[in-house]
Amino acid sequence: MIAFLAFCTLAAAVWYLHFALAHRAWRRLAAHTANEIDLQYLRIEDYFGRSFRAKLGEWLRLPEAPDSTPQLRAIDKGSERILALGSSACPPQRLSEHILVVQGDFRAGSGCYFTREIYVAGNCEIGSDARLQAIAVDGSLRLGSGVVVRRWVDASGAVHVGRDSRIDSRLTSRTSITLAPGARVLSAYAPEVSTEGRTEDPIIGFSRPAVALEIPPQIQPRKLPSVEGFHPRLLRQISADTWVYRGDLRLSIPLHLRAKLIVHGDCVLARGSYLEDDLKAIGSMVVGAGSRCQGAVASDQDVVLEEGVLFEYLIYANRQIILRQGVRGYGERPVAASAGQYLWAEPNVVVRGKLAAGLHVIAVPQGLRLEDLGTGTGAG
Amino acid sequence: MINLETEPRGAPERPIRGRSKKVLEPQPVHPGTRSLLAPRRARGNHEAMRVCVRIRMSGKRAAPAAQARRAFIFQHRSFRSLPVTRQRMAAAGLLACLFTLTLMRLAPKVIVFHENLCGWFLDAFQIPIAGWTSVQVSGVGLPAKAPEIPIPPFHAVSGGPRLFLILAVVALMLLARRFGLTRNFAGFLVILLCASAFVCAADPGFMISSAALTRVWLQIETLTWLLLPWLGALIFVMLQPDLRWGALWMLAVQIYAAPFSAFRLAFILAAMHHTGMLFFPALWFALGLLGTLIYVLFFYSVSVYVSTGRLWGARGEWRQ
Amino acid sequence: MAAVIVIAKLVVAASVAVLLAYAVRHYVLVIARASLRRPRDTMDLVGFHMPFISVLVPMHNEELVAPDILQALVEADYDPERLEILPINDRSTDRTGAILQEFAARYPCIRPIHRHEGRGGKPAALAEATAVARGEVLLLFDADYVPGKSALKMLAAPFVDAQVGAVMGRVVPHNTGDSVLATLLSLERAAGYQGEQQSRFNLGLIAQFGGTVGGVRASALRAVGGWDAASLTEDTDLTCKLALAGWRIAYVNRAECYEEVPPSWSVRRRQLMRWVTGHTGCLHRYWRRVMRSEFLTFGQKADALFMLACYHTAPVMVAGWVASLVLLFTARGESYLALPLLTAFLGYELFANQATFVELGVTAMLDGGRNRALLLPFHLLNFFASTVAICEALLRYYVRVIRFEDDERWDKTRRYRQSNGGFHSLGSRTS
């Protein structure tokens, strides 16, 4: 019996061992000092740039390294080094592994490789094929062709993103952003974001359609006209200001929308449509050329804004957005277009606000057919 | 304006050759994972020319900053996803097939090992083995040997085990009272103990021999061992970030399964030898069905702990 | 005896089938969540879509916590011209009313509502506030929650989609170190939100509106008949009504808000029993309409039924255990030995039982909760405890149904947090 009791003890010990780490983890968690949750965190567009500048201010107050000179201050921050200097130029094909603080203008030659953040108090020009970690500029910034920035870019002045350059996080400017053909960013936010080739005059002006299918907030569906691509019996009201259309909506005449509309299918709007309220398509959405969108336009798949569309609020697509030539995003407040995957912007697109995508916002070169990109809109 | 000309250190200046992506792509930044005091040489055919300005060395070094690792500027609270790609799924499937086939090939040896280890535990804790009976593990068509251990019927069980049953019930109730979270689990075990005591007293024929139990046990366990690679492929390989570590965890669980099974079986047989069928249902539940869940869960929790550390340690750059 | 054995076998088979179905669903959701390259969200539109919002905060004897949430709301980063805060003093007997008046005197955007009569409970309070709310969107917070500064913006953003009728944020426990149970519940909450809710939203299924840290479009709410004052789970009720009417519920993982989870099992048990009762009531009210809905896809219908019936897995499992015991005591377990049946049973044992823990583990990885991942074995105890509580709640519910009793009493969850008098230094163990 004693042997059996010993066996029981061993069994209990083996059993406990399976819970021992859990028990230890619990004791550690119980004794652990709670971390402060950042309830103060604000979601702002230029968060990275602001945060970096704030930290830089603290870092620059650290004691200088003994090998500093009046021209070049070196500050050791743990295992990193900060170099603070005046206006500078970096020759091509150079590698820097320090945080650079340039209290003036900065110019980097082609093929440079910066593994740490850069701050520039003046204007900045980065040569082609350079690689950066992140950069904050208080003046204007020009990125050459083929530049890759692994994280964010923030500038007070105008930003020009060169051909085929790539920024893997946010790009923000307090003045303007211009994307050359092939440029890719995760998001671009500025008082004005544009692609190259912009013209001042709209390529297609908007005027209220003389003949249109008008959908007001309150009407009996059977009183609506039956036009090609629209069947009133498929319209159902689900709230005082919202309609549901149960099928594809492919109109041959402009739509004048005065209530919210949810289309359970694809939605193709004719040229010159006028949307005063929100429109949603569960399929893909094509907004005809020269249309005006005052409400939000959303799709569970793709959204295509044809030439000269004016949107004054928000565009949201779960997959892709295509902004064709001449699209304008102007509103009383900053507007935004956000795609879950890609946002393709042809030349002469101007948006006062934000362009964003889950994977990339891409400025499409002139002359490239979007159909070749396999955008898979399926709707138009 | 300062012209950041280089002061070459070591090899003479050489331009970057070609447009090798490997050379030109910046390496992931891992603050704290490597020393930045000695600038790193880039790989490939690019002989790195460091931005190295000649500065005068003098006096004491400045005191280092408080921490070597920069806190992330943006405290993003969670990872987006794990690399559950088609290739990863295929790899998981292949590993599962490999493990299963290997186990099928080694099954006779594993069963022999299981028998020997079970026998060793029984000997070590002085449980008499009257002999070894051949049994057929019909689920996998393999012969095995089961120990013949005398198991007393209920009327032959002495007062000691009956008292032990009562003490076990009391202990479980005290545990339930002390820790609210254990209440229901302990309660379920109490119900099992009481039910078995009732059945044993009411039905003297309620009995299972050690050979029969071993046969059933081996049947269940061998099938479990064959299914484990598939579960392991799912939870260790497919749903964790690192393929190699996932394969190692699969192997660890597989290697652990047989010895732990032998240990559990030996304990149940030992308990039956001393107490008859009184504790059998509770032990069958706790060590049998639950036993497999427990050790898989243990390994899984440790693997998640390790994976989370690796995943978050490598989070050198963040996009938003 | 033969009949008993046959019945026991059928019960075991049915139990295995139901639980395997739920396990498959779990794994589908977990794999879908783990493999998402980019969870669906409207974070890029935060701050761009800012409709007029009314923030409703029902309070019944919340003097301990009222100042914290009100202070957090007035300091939120939302356009004050487009914000009104409606705390509802629901027949409190402590200083809650006085505290609301003090805040109203200081901040014009706060318009307290004092209820002294009428039906008790959160749904009735919300109904009264909804009648006077001016907002296009109504955001809801329980009194013991503390929203971050950007939470209101993040919750408002999804309404850019005209189809979104409600939105749900993420609830994060802050008292995780108070007890083992609290830590286990924090892991459970994480799996529910970061794992399941996000996965369901991304797959186009029905995310669940949780009644707090969430919002509803006012026009949609009115169109579906408003709050059900008789329901114990007005959130599940509203989820069903909105989904059936063609609305979508959005989930915002980044809109985090901190709550207090029950640190003791007795409080947790009462909370769980209320959820079970309310949820089951919704199942009986809506399952037929879900099956016949013209707006829901097949996948949405299936997932909705799974969701509504989820608490019934507990008695199904217990029935399976009891039947297994009967087989063990009578047929000596020989029935198990047929290979296909045995393989299916073991497959269920291995895969199905692990499903919930895998969900917890994947969430721990995504959230970086290393140390919490080690607590997974303790979850077995939580699992057992919850199973019994759920069975008890279902038993009481069906007894009441059989007796045609209609009385569901609102049971307020006990608070433990002391007020900071207006601002918050909350902690949460993030490891």
Cβ A326 vs Cβ A351: under 8 Å? no
Rounded CA gap, A309 and A301, in Å?
19
Residues 6+ apart with CB under 8 A from A23: none
**Residue contact A52–B3, C-beta within 8 A:** no
Q: Evaluate whether residue A201 is within a structural domain.
A: no
Least confident of A26-40, A224-238, B46-60, B173-187: B46-60
Mutation choice for C interface testing from B140, B235, B242 by most C CBs within 10 A: B235
Residue A343 vs residues A360, B189, C401: alpha-carbon distances, Å: 7, 60, 55
Least confident of A192-196, A371-375, B272-276, B298-302: A371-375
pLDDT single digits (tens) B72-97: 334 445 666 777 888 999 999 999 99
Q: Evaluate whether residue A184 is within a structural domain.
A: no
Rounded CA gap, A274 and C294, in Å?
30
Closest-approach residue (CA) in chain B for A133: B26
Q: Are residues B133 and B238 in the same domain?
A: yes
Q: Which domain holds residue B116?
A: 86-151+208-313
Q: What percent of chain B has pLDDT over 70?
A: 71
Residue B166 has phi, psi (to 5 degrees) of -65, -45
Residues 6+ apart with CB under 8 A from C169: C151, C154, C155, C213, C214, C251, C252, C255, C256, C257
Averaged over C24-42, what is the pLDDT? 85
pLDDT at B12 over 70: no
Q: Which domain holds residue A356?
A: 213-373
ipTM value: 0.90
Structure tokens at B16: 């970057």
Q: Evaluate whether residue B287 is within a structural domain.
A: yes
Closest-approach residue (CA) in chain A for B6: A94
Strand ranges, E, within C154-239: 164-173, 214-217
CA angle A248, A250, A254 (to 5 degrees): 135
Confidence of residue A14 (pLDDT cuts 50, 70, 90): very high
pLDDT score of A369: 60
Confidence of residue B284 (pLDDT cuts 50, 70, 90): confident
Q: Are residues A362 and A236 in the same domain?
A: yes
Residues of A in contact with B293 (CB under 8 A): none
Is residue A113 less than 8 Å (CB to CB) from chain B? Answer: yes
Cβ B302 vs Cβ A21: under 8 Å? yes
Q: Are residues A233 and A350 in the same domain?
A: yes
Q: Are residues B24 and B104 in the same domain?
A: no
Q: Give Cα C193 distance to the centre of its chain.
A: 9
**Residue contact C325–B195, C-beta within 8 A:** yes
Averaged over A225-233, what is the pLDDT? 85
**Residue contact A26–C245, C-beta within 8 A:** no
Q: Evaluate whether residue A39 is within a structural domain.
A: no
CATH 3.30.70.260 is held by the domain C38-278? no
CB atoms inside a 10 Å sphere around CB C17: 12
Q: Are residues B13 and B145 in the same domain?
A: no
Is pTM beyond 0.90 here? no
**DSSP 3-state of A142:** strand
pLDDT single digits (tens) C330-362: 655 554 455 666 666 777 777 877 888 999 999
pLDDT at B26 over 60: no
- Give the residue among A138, A58, A69, A74 at the shortest CA–CA distance from A103: A138
Q: Are residues B217 and B302 in the same domain?
A: yes
Rounded CA gap, A370 and A342, in Å?
12
**Touching partners of B (3+ C-beta pairs < 8 Å):** A, C
pLDDT score of A132: 93
**Residue contact C38–A341, C-beta within 8 A:** yes
Confidence of residue C87 (pLDDT cuts 50, 70, 90): very high
Averaged over A209-237, what is the pLDDT? 83
pLDDT at C411 over 60: no
Confidence of residue A356 (pLDDT cuts 50, 70, 90): very high
- Give A368 or C232, the one with higher predicted confidence: C232
- H/E stretch holding C200 reads helix C198-202
Q: What percent of chain A has pLDDT over 70?
A: 92
pLDDT score of B223: 86
Q: Are residues B147 and B12 in the same domain?
A: no
Closest-approach residue (CA) in chain C for A338: C44
Q: How do the domains of chain C map onto residue ranges?
A: 38-278
CA atoms within 13 A on the CB side of C340: 1
Structure tokens at B165: 């049953």
Q: Are residues B127 and B13 in the same domain?
A: no
Q: What is the mean pLDDT of chain C?
A: 85
Averaged over B48-68, what is the pLDDT? 28
Confidence of residue C321 (pLDDT cuts 50, 70, 90): confident
Q: What is the mean pLDDT of chain A?
A: 89
Q: Evaluate whether residue A147 is within a structural domain.
A: yes
- Enumerate the β-bridge partners of residue A89: A107, B3
pLDDT at A27 over 90: no
Least confident of A310-324, B246-260, B279-293, C297-311: B279-293
Q: Evaluate whether residue B99 is within a structural domain.
A: yes
Cβ A74 vs Cβ A82: under 8 Å? yes
**DSSP 3-state of C145:** coil
Q: Are residues A219 and A160 in the same domain?
A: no
Averaged over A304-313, what is the pLDDT? 94
Q: Evaluate whether residue B60 is within a structural domain.
A: no
Averaged over A316-336, what is the pLDDT? 93
Pairing type for strands A80-85 and A72-77 reads antiparallel
Q: Are residues A91 and A145 in the same domain?
A: yes
DSSP string, B77-134: -S-------HHHHHHHHHHHHHHHHHHHHHHHHHHHHHHHHHHHHHHHTT----EEEE
pLDDT score of B136: 82
For helices C2-34 and C353-367, the axis angle rounded to 10 degrees is 20
How many domains is chain B partitioned into structurally? 2
Residues 6+ apart with CB under 8 A from B167: none
Residue B218 has phi, psi (to 5 degrees) of -65, -35
Cβ C15 vs Cβ C315: under 8 Å? no
- Give the residue among A26, C360, C263 at the shortest CA–CA distance from B180: C263
**Residue contact C365–B307, C-beta within 8 A:** yes
Q: Are residues B1 and B145 in the same domain?
A: no
How many domains is chain A partitioned into structurally? 2
Residues 6+ apart with CB under 8 A from C135: C51, C52, C53, C54, C84, C218
- Give the residue among B220, B173, B175, B210 at the shortest CA–CA distance from B194: B173
B200 class by beta-carbon count within 10 Å (0-12 exposed, 13-18 middle, 19+ buried): buried
Is residue A217 less than 8 Å (CB to CB) from chain C? Answer: no
Confidence of residue B184 (pLDDT cuts 50, 70, 90): confident
Max mean pLDDT among A273-282, B8-17, C320-329, C398-407 falls in A273-282
Averaged over A44-56, what is the pLDDT? 89
- Enumerate the β-bridge partners of residue A160: A142, A178
Rounded CA gap, A186 and A359, in Å?
6
Max mean pLDDT among A319-328, B218-227, C8-17 falls in A319-328
pLDDT score of B314: 52
